[in-house]
Amino acid sequence: MRRPCIEIDIEKIKHNANYLVNYCGEKGIEIMGVTKGVCAYLPVVQAMLEGGVKKLGDSRIQNIMALREAGVENPIYLIRIPMISEAQDVVYYADGSLNSEIDVIKALAREAKKIGKVHKVILMVDVGDLREGVMPEDVLDVVGEILNLEGIEFEGLGTNVGCYGAILPSYENTKILVDLAANIEKKYGIKVKTISGGNTATLSLIERGKLPEGVNQLRVGEGILLGTDVTNFRKVPGTVQDTMKLKTEVIEVKVKPSYPIGEIGRDAFGNIPVYEDKGPMRRAIVALGKQDCRIEGLKPVDDRMEILGASSDHMILDVTKCPEIKVGDVIEFNVDYAAMLSLMTSGYVEKVVIR
């Protein structure tokens, strides 16, 4: 086995998917399984599907294309606003997409007409996080434009919170979608099929009985993949969290000063580091760096160790309390969502499935 590697427990991910699909399903809420966190890694996607997920979402058309080429036939949505330049591929490979720009939707309509398809559109509404989305006061007019396009089916409304502005989901900001859907139905005489009320963070509203009636879809990645909700800083009830572990190999162990010797300038990433002089320290280096992973998202399984920092290719640990550590040993880390995302994206990190 090559190292570094990320070990993925498929059965635990399947458990998380199954629990959330059933828990939300009892309340009339569909789970779209979001695969972007693992770059649509096929064994993980299959675990989601085996866990009961029927519909998938990913932010990269390349990942959706790979899933189609692997034979995945389930509905798949592009959950990042499409680029006009990729409209042809989006229509061909994805059943639907999340959108906020009418010019993009028109491009999708043109491509859909060319190949005789109908592409589903969920119009995103900005309820305060200030990432993607039409402002609420403009939604009715934009929907009117969408309804006049051939090759496009207006499926419903969606929103996103917690990813950019760190705005938490609430009854009030989620109910904006429900109220808008009612206004759309009244004005245009249509049924709004889908109200996509957010992501993993919105699960907390269901648990507290605060999700507005009418929301019938959540787009869940982190809650399935890791059993966590980083926005609310919590573990998702009913799920397991030890689904993935990073394994690295020690390439150097030496006692060195804890404070660098010489004049301090900027590091390789342009930052001016700050150090505390703790005296001589037993330091281990593992073969992993910032090119592979968001180091801040790692936590050693052995809590006697501490991550001191990293360069592009080397991560340095304080192993003073671990006298047994030697060159060639394997050190394990728990990962958060950001670390998982970077590790799964890195071509230098081996992906290993365990059952």
User: In 10 A of CB 137, how many CB atoms?
Assistant: 8
Among residues 12, 14, 36, 55, the one annotated as catalytic is: 36
| Cα–Cα dist 130/217, whole Å | 21
DSSP one-letter string for 27-82: TT-EEEEE-GGGTT-HHHHHHHHHTT--EEEES-HHHHHHHHHTT--S-EEE-SPP
At 242, phi and psi to the nearest 5? -85, 55
The contacts of residue 158 (CB under 8 Å, 6+ apart) are: 98, 122, 123, 124, 125, 177, 194, 195, 196, 197, 217, 219
| Cα–Cα dist 116/68, whole Å | 19
Is 36 one of the annotated active-site residues of the chain?
A: yes
Strand-pair category, 234-235 with 228-229: antiparallel
List the catalytic residues.
36
